[in-house]
Amino acid sequence: MVDFTIMGKNNINIDTRSIALRLVQVASITNTSGEVAFPDVLMTVLREIPFFKGHPDHVYDFSIEEDPKGRRIVMALAPGTGSSCVVLTGHYDVVDTNNYGVLEPFAFDPENLTKRMLQSLSSKQALSPAEVLLKKDLESGAFIPGRGMLDMKSGLAAGIAALAAFLDDTERIGNIVYMAVPDEEGSSVGMKAAKKILSTFAAEHGLALRAIINLDAAVDQGDGAEGKAVFVGSVSKLLPFVLFVGKPAHAGAPFDGFNPVIAASVFARDIECNSECFNIRTTFSGEEPPPPTMLYYREMRNRYDVTMPWDVFCALNVLTFEKNPAKIFENVKLLAQKALDNSISLLYERISAFSRRQNGHVTIPKFSSAVIDFPELVDRAEYVVPGIVERLRKIAEKSYPEDKVLQSAKVVHELLIYAHIEEPCAIVGLAPPYYAKAELDSDRDQAFLASIKDELVRFNRMHEETIKLRPFFPGISDMSFLAPSIDKQSLKYIEQRSAVLQPDLKGYLDNPLNIPVINIGPWGREYHQSGERVNRQYAFNVLPELLFTICQRLLKDSMQG
């Protein structure tokens, strides 16, 4: 049982750490039975809050339609006067624990994990810089490790503490809805469904939604100066793919063909962690998103062959402040063409050098190259076999139901057979998932932003803190589905270039909430890694108070407005 005692009006003294530990103990890994079971634990914790003990019917769970896994969304309504409502939300699923190695059995037991990690680190003769910092953090007691401790159950716990503090105030103004969703680490099935459920829930209970606060965590390798922040937007994510197509030849006569591996490797070298590779604006108010990185890189054969591969598939993660997907896509096409041209030139150099050593007895082939976007590939294949794209999509979905990117790779690979492409080329398209840029409305949300800024100044002064306002959360988040900055034309552009169907795209424009969405969460280090850990002081002492204060301010403003 958690002690939900509030010491003095507007002063939170709830054991938020204990809440977080209870939530972390549930191995709610995405797409597992733990994710399905987690809502029961969360609802039990919520109903330990004094108000919900007397009103257990104010804690709800909603099944997600057409979800074969049976996952649920948890909601709790803290009622007050009036109709204005602020929503506190976050995801409860976590990534797997494979990277913990021998410590994996303790990944969901933070106290035991701390001891064993320190024992392991102390036994090593040499530590990497990351291990040195991890050891220092754990020895100081300032950080608590564990899968989900940072991403993002400490945020969920802080939200529960703020909710309890709000309910303890007998003169509370407005309402708060607490909402926890699954599958953020997967395809955001939870938040996509939650948007519709939330709209219906608000209408049924006479609530006027004023703002949503996402509780996701930020990473900071320093003293928290960057992690202690209120984020008023979230980056966009695209997953462009390039299928490099070569001209196969026997390995004993490599100069008779063109190996697409060389083009794919040049492409990967030029792009990997290169924040300057795209010819678009990469900074905003002094901030810069993480650089692109390759998430898929594979030759499309499934067996050994002494012949060169025909094609190599690459998919790259692009996080950007740019909300127009066409600009990113066109840049990828240019980079693919550059990779083809440079790799062909490099091959010519090597053939020429080899030929000179062979007294000119090696024939130097001539290769042309082209970059073809996915719609053109479809047109070529459909001209030969009408309906082939739909057929291949169904086969790919049946063969790889859990992997939309591999489905994309298989579809474009098979289309090549029907498109009769013989020369080296690059096929460029888009794979799921797509996350829209999230941001405040510059006209609608001026007063809201002014209130946030004012309250931050007040809070920092009162608590001797240095929490800052930042324009964008640097990683993908469910904010993209709550406050998407996207239009029909851009969605159609993405749809046309997607190798597999993305029916969720239309959800961006369905059930629009038209309210500001921000992120206020804990900070720590190495989420998704074995060294994942949260800063104890900020997550369990500062953050609940900050959330409570911001909620109060927004609700009071809405009543006055």
| pLDDT digits 0-9 by tens, 101-149 | 999 999 999 999 999 999 999 999 999 999 999 999 999 999 999 999 9
Across 422-444, b (16+ Cβ under 10 Å) vs e yields eebbbbbbbbbbbbbbbbbeeee
Residue type, 248: P
Which CB contacts under 8 angstroms, 24+ apart, belong to 1-9? 1/48, 2/45, 2/48, 4/48, 4/49, 4/50, 4/164, 4/168, 6/164, 6/165, 6/168, 9/169
Q: Does this chain's domain 16-232+437-471+516-560 share its CATH topology with 236-435?
A: no
Annotation: CATH topology of 16-232+437-471+516-560: Aminopeptidase (3.40.630)
Residue 559 has pLDDT above 90, yes or no: no
Question: Is the confidence at residue 457, as pLDDT, over 60?
Answer: yes
Lowest mean pLDDT among 75-79, 233-237, 355-359, 501-505: 355-359
Two structure tokens written together for 97: 């624990």
Which residue would you say has higher pLDDT here, 4 or 459?
459
What is the residue-averaged pLDDT of the chain?
Answer: 93
Backbone angles phi, psi at 386, to 5 degrees: -60, 135
- Closest to 199 measured CA to CA, from 208, 188, 190, 211: 208
CA distances from 445 to 215, 256, 518 (A): 20, 62, 11
For residue 300, say if its preceding peptide bond is cis, omega within 30 degrees of 0.
no
Q: What is the pLDDT of residues 402-433, one digit of tens each?
A: 899 999 999 999 999 999 887 899 999 999 99
Question: Within 100-153, where are the H helices?
Answer: 110-123, 129-140
The DSSP secondary structure of 174-208, one letter per residue, reads EEEEEEEES-TTTT-HHHHHHHHHHHHHHHHTT-E
pLDDT tops 60 at residue 367: yes
Answer yes or no: are the C-beta atoms of 347 and 366 closer than 8 Å. Answer: no
395, pLDDT greater than 60: yes
Confidence category of residue 387, pLDDT binned at 50, 70, 90: very high
Residue 257, CA distances (Å) to 164, 262, 360, 367 in order: 68, 12, 18, 9
List C-alpha distances in Å: 398 to 31, 394, 406. 18, 6, 12
- Please compute the mean of the pLDDT values over residues 306-324 and round it to a whole number: 93
Question: Could you tell me the pLDDT band of residue 313, with boundaries at 50, 70 and 90?
Answer: very high
Report how far residue 507's alpha carbon sits from residue 379's, in angstroms, rounded to the nearest whole number.
Answer: 27
Domain ranges for the chain: 16-232+437-471+516-560, 236-435
* Mean per-residue pLDDT, 325-332: 95
Residue 294, helix vs strand vs coil? strand
**Given this model, what pLDDT does residue 554 score?**
97
CA 41 to chain centre: 25
Note the pLDDT tens digit of each residue in 242-270.
999 999 889 988 888 899 999 999 999 99
Cβ pair 267, 335 in contact under 8 A: yes
Buried b / exposed e over 490-511, threshold 16 CB at 10 Å, is bbebbeebbbbbbebbebbeee
- Report residue 345 as tokens: 């030139």
Q: What's the pLDDT at 253?
A: 85
pLDDT at 238: 95
The span from the CA of 233 to the CA of 477, in Å, is: 10
Q: Rounded mean pLDDT of 348-364?
A: 80
In this predicted structure, which of 12-21, 168-177, 370-379, 389-398 has the lowest mean pLDDT? 12-21
Burial of 265 (0-12, 13-18, 19+ CB in 10 A): middle
Contacts (Cβ under 8 Å, ≥6 apart) of 298: 312, 313, 409
Task: Assign domain 236-435 to its CATH architecture.
Answer: 2-Layer Sandwich (3.30)
pLDDT of residue 285: 64
The whole-number average pLDDT for the span 50-77 is 97
Query: What is the model's pLDDT at position 283?
Result: 53
Dist CA 513 CA 212 (whole Å): 10
3-class secondary structure, 276 = coil
Strand pairing of 81-91 and 173-181? parallel
- Range list of β-strands (E), 420-532: 425-435, 438-439, 468-470, 517-520, 523-525
The band of 9, judged by pLDDT with boundaries at 50, 70 and 90, is very low
Question: Each residue of 526-557: pLDDT tens digit?
Answer: 999 999 999 999 999 999 999 999 999 999 99
How many Cα atoms within 13 Å fall on the side-chain side of residue 523?
21
| pLDDT at residue 3, as a whole number | 66
Q: Which residue has the tokens 């063409």?
A: 337
Residue 466: CB atoms within 10 Å:
12
Confidence label for 335 from pLDDT (cuts 50, 70 and 90): very high
What's the pLDDT band for 7 if we cut at 50, 70, 90?
very low
Distance (Å, whole) CA 322 – CA 470: 17
pLDDT > 90 in the chain, percent: 80
